[in-house]
Amino acid sequence: MAVLHEHLPFPVRRSVLSVPAVNVRALEKIPGLDCDAVILDLEDSVAPEKKQEARDNLRRVFSAKPETHCEMAIRINPQGSEFVGADLDLVLDLMPDAVLLPKVEEAHEIRAVADILSRKPLDRKPAIWAMIETPKGVLNAAEIAAAGEGIACLVVGLNDLRKETGVLPLPGRSYFVPWLMQVVLAGRAHGVDVIDSVFNDFRDADGFQAECEQGRAMGFSGKMLIHPAQIDAANRSFGPDPAAIAEAEAIVAAFSVAEAQDLNVINLDGKMVERLHLVEAEKLLTRARHMTERKNRP
């Protein structure tokens, strides 16, 4: 196929796996993974002396045009670092689905990268994702989410946020919940997806499942992952369950009958259902259909 990912009008980001660009074996396994998105990392997971090797690896990956249906994002190094210029040149050459900016604290950082991307005349430009992983980034999350048309996703980074705040990594993340919800609210206010932070122990399946359920309950779109073993649980947790799909289908069917055409509120099995519920039901069914089509696409 001509590109790594066929752009679709309704992106799904339940499972977002981070892969170090210096790890050749991990890069080779991407086509066989069932995650919705992959972050090809040039930043934290790559030592300074390995940065060029990592970029060369990504050039080989993209030139091979592997058969993969996941969204491909390249995480570059922070703006102001000695590596970011070469990273952005790579992005302009490879044109991935997205570019992920680390440690974003202000909206002008998004606009600066959007300006660089706009210098290359193309029908399709990479979307911009922003890591929210500092106190200032959390405080400015709404401003960042509203930075422009290019911004598509906020990704929470709790490891750095813990380091900068001194908040302990306690089970349940209770002291982080207000900040996490602040980022979710910022993203939803501006139509931007919000991805929950990584869970650091991929061997702790129960702990990971609990954190996925918490993230889903808080309104996150999906979760950033550190290991392929976490993909299935994230897909299940952040995807619509059969009961929700059945309810959505019932709502759509109830509003489709002739008697309901001019009604804003109907009675469905004893429950009041408004047209706003119809809109949400249609969105959920579109999301479910997209996930099925992606999984079944040859």
Q: Whole-angstrom Cα distance, residue 260 to residue 187?
A: 33
Asked whether the beta carbons of 52 and 64 are under 8 A apart, the reply is no
Closest CA to 167 of 118, 121, 133: 133
Residue type, 63: S
Q: What secondary structure does DSSP assign to 168-198, as a single string?
A: ---TT-TTTHHHHHHHHHHHHHTT-EEEEPP
Asked whether the beta carbons of 76 and 102 are under 8 A apart, the reply is yes
Q: Whole-angstrom Cα distance, residue 25 to residue 29?
A: 7
- Strand bridging mode 222-225 / 193-196: parallel
Residue 75 annotated as binding?
yes
116-153: b (≥16 Cβ within 10 Å) or e: ebeeeeeeebbbbbbbbbbeebbebbebbbebeebbbb
Pair of tokens at residue 159:
């490891």
Residue 13 annotated as binding?
no
N-terminal to C-terminal alpha carbon distance within the chain: 11
Sign of CA dihedral 29, 31, 33, 35: positive
- Phi, psi torsion values for 202, nearest 5 degrees: -70, -10
Asked whether the beta carbons of 21 and 40 are under 8 A apart, the reply is yes
Binding residues for substrate: 75, 133
Binding residues for Mg(2+): 133, 160
Binding residues: 75, 133, 160
